[in-house]
Amino acid sequence: GAGVSQSPSNKVTEKGKDVELRCDPISGHTALYWYRQSLGQGLEFLIYFQGNSAPDKSGLPSDRFSAERTGGSVSTLTIQRTQQEDSAVYLCASSLARGSEQFFGPGTRLTVL
Amino acid sequence: DQQVKQNSPSLSVQEGRISILNCDYTNSMFDYFLWYKKYPAEGPTFLISISSIKDKNEDGRFTVFLNKSAKHLSLHIVPSQPGDSAVYFCAASEAGGGADGLTFGKGTHLIIQP
């Protein structure tokens, strides 16, 4: 595809359930980033991948959050035992290389009831 | 502890006039700054950037000014057009714009009035 795509676009889940969010970066982009935007807040950096490895996981808010990237392409962000404070828009971005412009996907709006 | 601050949640400007969006930062290690524009239900799109070795960068109607001593940058849009109505995020990074994620401000909602 031409841009970064994310699925699902919306996800409503019950507290305590696990959720998986998917990101398809732009083909050929080696760097991939996950952010989240809570209501009334700016974008908060979560994790960065260079290829399949994640040299920076410092932004993950707790050990309930994990992410992986396979084949240097698709990435999934998993949130275990979701809490209401996890409700946010989760955005994925990719860039051609470390340091180049980041292109964002439309985001996944997660609502934890 | 916010490292990038956009103190105006919203700004209303008349069409044709200049829009000035402001951003302050606290981390002196930041050396690359970006502005992103975001429409509802879409991801942010890159607008313009500036490296800390410069104090001005211009691209069409958009100009970004950087004042390192004041740790302040601003985005000027002139003339403002209705399609400019969006949320504008200021972002910053260390290490020449590379490495890890960007640090974003909370955004300023720009409203262009006809």
The pLDDT profile of chain B, 114 residues, written as one tens digit per residue, is 789 999 999 999 999 999 999 999 999 989 889 999 999 888 999 999 999 999 999 999 999 999 999 999 999 999 999 999 999 999 998 865 444 678 899 999 999 999
Asked if A4 is an interface residue toward chain B (Cβ–Cβ < 8 A), one would say yes
Amino acid B95: pLDDT: 63
Q: A56-69, pLDDT tens digit by residue?
A: 777 899 999 999 99
Q: Which 3-state string (H, E, C) describes B23-71?
A: EEECCCCCCEEEEEEECCCCCCEEEEEEECCCCEEEECCEEEEEECCCC
Size of interface A-B (CB pairs under 8 A): 64
Q: Which of A4, A42, A59 is the closest to B107 by Cβ?
A: A42
Look at residue B97 in the predicted model and tell me its pLDDT: 47
Judge whether B107 is closer than 8 Å to chain A, CB to CB: yes
- Average pLDDT for chain A: 91
Strands A43-50 and B32-38: unpaired
| pLDDT higher than 60, residue A13 | yes
Please name every residue paired with A58 in a beta bridge, in sequence order, or none if there are none.
none
- Shortest CA distance from A96: residue in chain B: B98
Q: Given B42, B99, B106, which is nearest A42 (Cβ)?
A: B106
Is residue A52 over pLDDT 50? yes
What distance in Å separates the CA atoms of residue B45 and residue B39, rounded to the nearest whole number? 9
Q: Tell me what pLDDT residue A63 has.
A: 93
Which is more confident, A17 or A42? A17
Tell me which of A26, A98, A101, A102 to substitute to probe the interface with B (most B C-beta atoms closer than 10 Å): A102
pLDDT(A97) > 80? no
